[in-house]
Structure 1
């Protein structure tokens, strides 16, 4: 629970003392003892009075820093010290009017100050709790927005790849140009959207990302995760490249699950100079196929600005994607000079 902040040295002391049982009450006693030291130091001046004035700071600071109940203890302790031990006749009941007025005024003032400062602390605490709730809500909304924005960006990137695939398979050159332009523009929108949510320059460790992807895919039509191995060390890649590589990996995991569920797959990503190479090496079975949706894999490789090579043998299949470490610019637009309608 938050309260009005004391000065930094005092705040540090309070923070260290929080674990001590009854720390606020011990703090109240210490403040009263400090006031007593001041009172004794000023005793030549205040010898004819009871000196309640010196104990007001102890009550006020206790109420402000430690709370209402410790402040009541400080009030009671200060009253006992001044009234019983520092009067004209110590340890005797003072019945004169001056003593009664001083005592009454001190008690009334202390209780009033305690009530006011406790109310202020309560308002501060309510405000702090409200602020914490609003901050938590805002943080949650921001995280939801970021997750939604990330999904939207990934979907736009996938749409760009699908449009590029459609463009490559289109026999009409005009339609192919339109689809290629649409793919390029969608990729630009995807990157702009990623930059808007501050993820443009963000990188992730590919191996950890691929492991989680393989675990998630195992229950959704992918190769069992215990048949997927990883190597190559910790290579960090931009999120856009990780998305493209993840789609290629998912495609091959589903291909192996459908055709060779007993196969083993080794996933590696290495970086040399300005080039990264992802290798999907499948083995442990006979006549292992390449990716089933080769067109999609080629489109994602093209989006990476890379090169795809599939080597099939009697005992395995290697899918190799080499691509630059930097993001490649989208294809230049080539708009039509006439309408298709």
Structure 2
């Protein structure tokens, strides 16, 4: 696999266009180390012949690999032996020289071997990172395709129900098919909006804004003004979002159909925290409901569905008269609903 990762360390050792360049640069490192050793001669006590040569060997091995590193080790060994080990300016071999050269050889061999294994491990890590990135891209593509197909299938089922409605004469049955078709189409749109292959939580304000706009558009009403107020930082768990979306959609649809059937008005969707719980309110300025209204005794299929969905996610759904007219649908969610 090609190392296309842009990180410099993961591309080491460098492979130059011509290997001879690596040896030329290595020779330059050794020459610089020799000059530095001569410059430091007045400052160093006797017995430090290799002090500036070790960095040259390490740098050559780190940048260009094992062979230039060995080349640097041999050059530096010869230079230190000839110029800085007594008797100087000669290659006389005696026990002291042999001990010094054995020490030098052991150090540079350990350095070169460690650098080689480090770069080999780093190279394998870069390859695995690229492979993981490719797998993640494939997973995202497959997940996106799955979500797309599921959403399309729901839209097809909704269209089939709408076609079947044309062959039904009974008003109640036609209305039931209409409602079923609209709910399936809404679930399909929610499925698209919730696409997130990483499984991360959904930003609630943007999601509610898109959702309520879809519901208003599906109703065909242009005289309804809707507003959404929710904290920017609140996100919802993926398992909570779909039921919540359906409850909100039912509450908004109920406000349009029963609260504002013959005139325009406003609908406000507000989400806030209250004693650790999440409280979502859908209020309108429509005709309102009676003070003794109870959702569990309602004949509205949509409200019964909303009540059932709220119970499934551990919440509570109520519909009551507003303080200044209209109606307020309220959904109380447990603290675990937010992430």
| TM-score where L is the length of structure 2 | 0.51
Kept after mapping to 2: 8 A contact 1:94/1:100: no
User: What's 1:20 paired with?
Assistant: 17
**Residue matched to 2:148:** 150
Q: What SS does the corresponding residue of 1:131 show, helix, strand or coil?
A: helix
The secondary structure found in structure 1 opposite 2:152 is helix
| Alignment correspondent of 2:206 | none
Q: Counterparts of 1:88 and 1:164 in 2: how far apart (Å)?
A: 100
- Counterpart of 1:120 (choices 111, 118, 121) is 118
- Residues 153 and 194 in structure 1, CA contact (< 8 A), matched pair in contact too: yes
Deviation at 1:194, TM superposition (A): 0.8
User: Deviation above 6 Å: which 4+ runs of structure 1?
Assistant: 302-306, 333-336
TM-score, scaled relative to structure 1: 0.51
Question: Residues 62 and 115 of structure 2 are in contact (CA less than 8 Å); yes or no, is this contact kept in structure 1?
Answer: yes
C-alpha separation in 1, matches of 2:219 and 2:130: 43
2:53 to 32, 52, 55: 55
Residues 27 and 186 from structure 1, CA distance in 2 versus in 1: closer, same or farther, beyond 3 angstroms?
farther
Matched, 1:99 2:90: no
Distance 1:116 1:18, change over 3 A: closer
Cα shift readout 1:89-144 (whole Å, capped 9, x = no counterpart): 55522223322221111111100121122112222222222232222222212211
> Who is 2:70 aligned against?
72
Take 1:198 and 1:141, find their aligned partners in 2: how far apart are those partners?
A: 11
Change (3 A) 1:92 1:184: same
1:6 shift after superposition: 6.3
**Superposed CA RMSD:** 4.0
Q: Give the equivalent residue in structure 1 for 2:181.
A: 183
Structure 1 alignment gaps of length 5 or more: 200-301, 307-328
For these two proteins, the number of residue pairs brought into alignment is: 210
CA deviation map 1:169-209 (0-9, x unaligned):
4222122111111111112111111111169xxxxxxxxxx
Instruction: Flag structure 2 segments of 5+ consecutive residues without an equivalent.
Output: 198-216, 222-248, 259-297, 302-339
Following superposition of structure 1 onto structure 2, how do residues 193-208 of structure 1 map, counting pairs within 5 Å?
193-197=191-195
What does 1:109-258 align with in structure 2 at a 5 Å threshold? Answer: 109-197=107-195
